[in-house]
Amino acid sequence: MPLKLTVIGTGYLGATHAAAMAELGFDVLGLDIEPHKVEMLSQGRVPMYEPGLEELLAKHVAGFEGSSGRLRFTTSWEEVGEFGDVHFVCVNTPQKHGEYACDMSYVESAFSLLAPHLRRPALVVGKSTVPVGSAARLAAMLTELAPVGADAELAWNPEFLREGFAVQDTLHPDRIVVGVTSERAESLLREVYATPVAEGTPFVVADYPTAELVKTAANAFLATKISFINAMAEVSEAAGGDVAKLAEAIGYDDRIGAKFLRAGIGFGGGCLPKDIRAFMARAGELGADQALTFLREVDSINMRRRTHMVELAREAVGGGSFLGCRIAVLGATFKPDSDDVRDSPALNVAGQIQLQGGQVTVYDPKGMDNARRLFPTLGYAPTALEAVRGADVVLHLTEWREFRELDPLALAEVAKRPHILDGRNALDPVVWRNAGWTFRAMGRPAA
Ligand code: UDX
């Protein structure tokens, strides 16, 4: 009998994991506490934009013509407890209000609601990003609250998916990391991940704290890499150098690697910023805060990029105030191929300029609804061209392909002044300058 899996929490991580597990051939029951999410997913619709996810759902959600029928959704904990051999906990761990630490309340609540329904041996697998030490505590809680006692076991299996590539990253991960305390847990997880492991995905077996740390360490490293190149952008700008060339040149050293070396307005989103902060907070609790003080610098370099962009925009409109100026902002999401605007550097810059008196008009291919909800007072345009119409300066703040394919000649005709700032080092300066634009990119020479 193939294992029966449940997935608790159907956000980016959970919805993708549930669909991917059905694709791997398992019967899957997804749970969310929000009935409208369950209803949407049961109709094969996804509450966010993630390429390929709706197609994967439609392929497996029960009730669709031609679907495998292996995937269902519910709000019932009892049903989940009865159904699953393995339960994946995929709820989110946002930053606590006014603190660096992460908010564990969704994780705690998921465990305390699930455990009383575990009446037969089960493996609960935590996938949420949590402070190191959480797994040991949650394992004890499971044994205490589950009717089946010590036969409700815990494993920690961090998730490394990137938004925009969530389906691909879940079906073909670059590594699988499991924190376990028994052979039974390890062998159940080997069964779950048999397909990617057979394709060559490394399967790393560790203890709880190491598995928890792998996730935060990986995100801290990525954040550091981005802030490193952004620090080089600051120095390049001061010295008249070109950070894009510099990144290309150091990237050929395969110990360094070319990825994650794009300078610009920095990282945002629901993971990197809050994860490095929660990591610092947890290290502090453990008495190891000195080890991570560099992450404070990583965070400040990153936040400085946003202010620097505002300053470049101010220079572009004459150096004084933004009053009476129209600023076009291309991009609202924190990265392309996503509709996620959480801690988006683009919207942060747009908001700062508006607060300083500028008239800001934003356009984004997928993030408009979420952006409007978060910043209802910004101006919004239905197309890039309309956003640029009448603008004194254009800011390119999220590197969507659509923006690289824009026609600079057509935009120059509608802009008040053809002046563009590339906050993502993704546009071709030559093309824009040839079309008559004053083009400036972060960390690169002005002309
Ligand atoms: C990240 C991790 O990559 C992923 O492994 C983890 O599971 C969750 O957090 P994600 O939040 O989807 O994924 O975004 P990512 O692709 O890492 O980009 C983060 C931010 O860094 C974006 O705002 C992006 O624009 C920015 N970035 C990325 C840069 O500024 N420069 C780069 O070179 C790369």
Q: pLDDT value at position 319?
A: 84
Q: pLDDT value at position 243?
A: 98
How much is the average pLDDT of 27-31? Answer: 98
What domains does the chain contain, in order, with CATH numbers? 4-206 (3.40.50.720), 208-447 (3.40.50.720)
* Residues involved in catalysis: 271
Alpha-carbon 285 to chain mean position = 26
Decide: 14 in ligand 1 pocket, CB within 6 A. Answer: no
Query: For a substitution probing ligand 1, which of 50, 129, 162, 298 has the most ligand atoms within 8 Å of its CB?
Result: 162
Gap from CA of 408 to ligand 1 centroid (Å):
28
> How many whole angstroms separate alpha carbon 392 and alpha carbon 410?
16
Q: pLDDT value at position 104?
A: 96
Decide: 406 in ligand 1 pocket, CB within 6 A. Answer: no
Going by C-alpha positions, the residue among 51, 106, 40, 118 that lies closest to residue 73 is: 40
Decide: 265 in ligand 1 pocket, CB within 6 A. Answer: no
Q: pLDDT value at position 359?
A: 98
For 285-343, write each residue's pLDDT tens digit.
Answer: 999 999 999 999 999 999 999 999 999 999 999 988 999 999 999 999 999 999 999 99
Decide: 272 in ligand 1 pocket, CB within 6 A. Answer: yes
Q: pLDDT value at position 438?
A: 98
Decide: 269 in ligand 1 pocket, CB within 6 A. Answer: yes
Local confidence band at 42 (pLDDT 50, 70, 90 cut-offs):
very high
* % of the chain exceeding 90 in pLDDT: 97
Local confidence band at 64 (pLDDT 50, 70, 90 cut-offs):
confident
User: Does the structure show a pLDDT above 80 at 447?
Assistant: no
pTM of whole model > 0.85? Answer: yes
Gap from CA of 54 to ligand 1 centroid (Å):
22
Decide: 334 in ligand 1 pocket, CB within 6 A. Answer: yes
For 70-128, write each residue's pLDDT tens digit.
Answer: 999 999 999 999 999 999 999 999 999 999 999 999 999 999 999 999 999 999 999 99
Gap from CA of 219 to ligand 1 centroid (Å):
9
Decide: 233 in ligand 1 pocket, CB within 6 A. Answer: no
User: Does the structure show a pLDDT above 90 at 409?
Assistant: yes
For 280-291, write each residue's pLDDT tens digit.
Answer: 999 999 999 999
Q: pLDDT value at position 361?
A: 98
> How many whole angstroms separate alpha carbon 388 and alpha carbon 411?
7
> How many whole angstroms separate alpha carbon 314 and alpha carbon 312?
5
Q: pLDDT value at position 436?
A: 97
Cα atoms in the 13 Å half-sphere on the side-chain side of 122: 31
Residue identifier of the C-alpha nearest atom 2 of ligand 1: 162
Gap from CA of 384 to ligand 1 centroid (Å):
24
The DSSP-derived string for 250-276 is HHTSTTT-STT---SS---SSSHHHHH
Please, are residues 408 and 437 in contact by the beta-carbon 8 Å criterion?
Answer: yes
Q: Which atom of ligand 1 is nearest to the CA of 162?
A: 12
* % of the chain exceeding 70 in pLDDT: 100
Q: pLDDT value at position 1?
A: 82
Gap from CA of 335 to ligand 1 centroid (Å):
7
Residue identifier of the C-alpha nearest atom 27 of ligand 1: 267
Q: pLDDT value at position 216?
A: 97
Decide: 88 in ligand 1 pocket, CB within 6 A. Answer: no
Local confidence band at 63 (pLDDT 50, 70, 90 cut-offs):
confident
How much is the average pLDDT of 55-79? Answer: 95
How much is the average pLDDT of 245-272? Answer: 97
